[in-house]
Amino acid sequence: MSNRLFNWFKFSSPATFYPLAGRISPWAAWIAVILIGIGLYLSFFVAPTDYKQGEGYRIIFIHVPAAWMSMFIYLVMAFWSILGLMFNTRVSAMMTQALAPTGAMFTFLALWTGAFWGKPMWGAWWVWDARLTSELILLFLYIGYIALHSSIDDNRRADRAGAILVLVGVINIPIIYYSVEWWNTLHQGSSVNFKQGSSMTMIMLWTMLIMALGFWAYSIATAMSRVRSIMLERERDTNWVSKLPELKSPNT
Amino acid sequence: MFDVFIAVVRRDLLLAMRRRSDVLTTLFFFVIVITLFPLGIGPEMSVLRGIAPGIFWVAALLASMLALEHLFSIDYTDGTLEQMLLTPQPVFILVLGKVLAHWLVTGLPLVLLSPLLGLQYDLSTQALATMMLTLLIGTPALSLIGAIGAALTLGLRGGGVLVSLLVLPLYIPVLIFGAGAVEATVSGLGGAGHVSMLGAILILSLILTPIATSAALRISAE
């Protein structure tokens, strides 16, 4: 194992991952603040007015990245769940647990901004369209995972039961993604398409990508700081936690 | 392997027949929920005809979910489940057998009773037939999908409420296509497409859900 160029399993132990997460978290947080700041400036002051939807379309710069993140975080959770079930690594399950609230938040944000966008464009806060419904199911899946995890006291069982639930729910992700293509419903088709390029001007596309990267950095920052708390809580009786310098009170 | 399947189905059916009240509770829940709606909404026949597919399917969903409680829990508390997991036969077969027996005592009665209840809602013969067909295809899928939730929440406090949170979102596709087929028949469009989708869901869940349920059982019984 030791003569490998890089040992991938090195960070599979909480004791080594904890300081790494502590180093990543502030960096990611700053990147997130800067990118979201730039993205918000571009989306409010630089991006041109849409010829069809007027000023109201500007919510796209939050709505679409949030929807991307809501699906992407779920896939990342599924990835960690598979790793956790395969290799029985503790950090994988902790990462799944740490990502879930952020994913649920982005799902809620996507639905909420969608409602604000839908009111001026469609004249309704909510319609029972395939994409909206499947995104709502995604929110239920996140909440179900969090509820299941928190109602099992035994961490090991909670991790593995949660992993199975996440993997069962993965079937919903392609349904959300392709819902606008499979069913011809009210929700507009995607504006960014890898095959035909985008249906927007370059500046709009860049703004959206910057916002997406900002949200990405935000997710990393929150997940990393949350995973640190989870580690401390779960491993509070271990040797490495008791030796952490930040946990030593100054007067002892 | 087939012998094991038959043995599990037989045993569970026999146990269910010895405890008939459990079976009847689910059935009467279904009947009462369906009877409550006309009382709440009013006896306007044209309204009732329109909402009947949705009400029947939602009632079937809830009844199927309530019945999940008995799927594994009794075997889990008295230790039978652990013994079953220790046998050399695949858990896949065991799960399939238990789910089939469970569906025979909780799902099938709903299917058989639904035309009678449908008359209360003034549904046409054709709509009744579609309703029965969709329930016949849909309720086994519900039992199969629900088994995952039942296995994950074995022996947890507040398990019943938790099951609803885990299972109901996964039931939604069955609800959409099941109620959609009946609605399409009522409105004269023909529900063949919806019925085919429902069949696809049943086949997929028949193959995939026992894997997840077996894994969940092994985790819960550890």
The overall pTM is greater than 0.95: no
Q: Angle B170-A71-A216 (CA atoms, 0-180°, nearest 5)? A: 150
pLDDT at A116: 87
How many structural domains comprise chain A?
1
pLDDT > 90: what percent of chain B?
A: 35
pLDDT at A237: 84
Q: Is the confidence at residue B78, as pLDDT, over 80?
A: yes
CATH at A157? 1.20.120
CB-nearest to B156 from A141, A151, A164 is A151
* A42 found inside a domain: yes
Q: Mean pLDDT for each consecutive 10-residue tract of chain A (252 residues)?
A: 61 84 91 93 82 77 91 93 88 91 94 87 80 88 92 88 91 80 66 57 84 93 92 86 74 52
The shortest C-alpha distance from A156 to chain B (Å) reads: 9
In terms of residue numbers, what domain contains A113? 21-231
Asked if A169 lies within 8 A of B170 by C-beta distance, the reply is yes
How many structural domains comprise chain B?
1
* A41 found inside a domain: yes
Interface mutation vs chain A, best among B144, B170, B175, B177, most A CBs within 10 Å: B170
* A14 found inside a domain: no
Q: Which residues of A touch B172 (CB under 8 A)?
A: 133, 137
Beta partners for A192? A198
Q: Which strand (E) or helix (H) includes residue A112?
A: helix A90-122
pLDDT at B31: 92
CB-nearest to B169 from A141, A164, A167 is A141
pLDDT at A140: 92
pLDDT at A197: 54
In terms of residue numbers, what domain contains B159? 2-220
The per-residue pLDDT for range B79-130, each reduced to its tens digit, is 888 888 888 888 899 999 999 999 999 899 999 999 898 888 888 888 888 8
Note whether ipTM > 0.90 here. no
* A108 found inside a domain: yes
Of the candidates B200, B194, B91, B108, the residue with the CA atom closest to the CA atom of residue B147: B91
Point out the least confidently predicted range of B81-85, B155-159, B197-201: B155-159
Q: Torsions phi, psi of A17, nearest 5?
A: -75, -30
pLDDT at B206: 92
| Chain A touched by B160 (CB under 8 Å) | no
B69 vs A94, more confident: A94
Q: Select the highest-mean-pLDDT range: A4-13, B44-53, B136-145.
A: B136-145
CB-count burial class (<10 Å; 0-12, 13-18, 19+) for A236 = exposed
* A248 found inside a domain: no
* A214 found inside a domain: yes
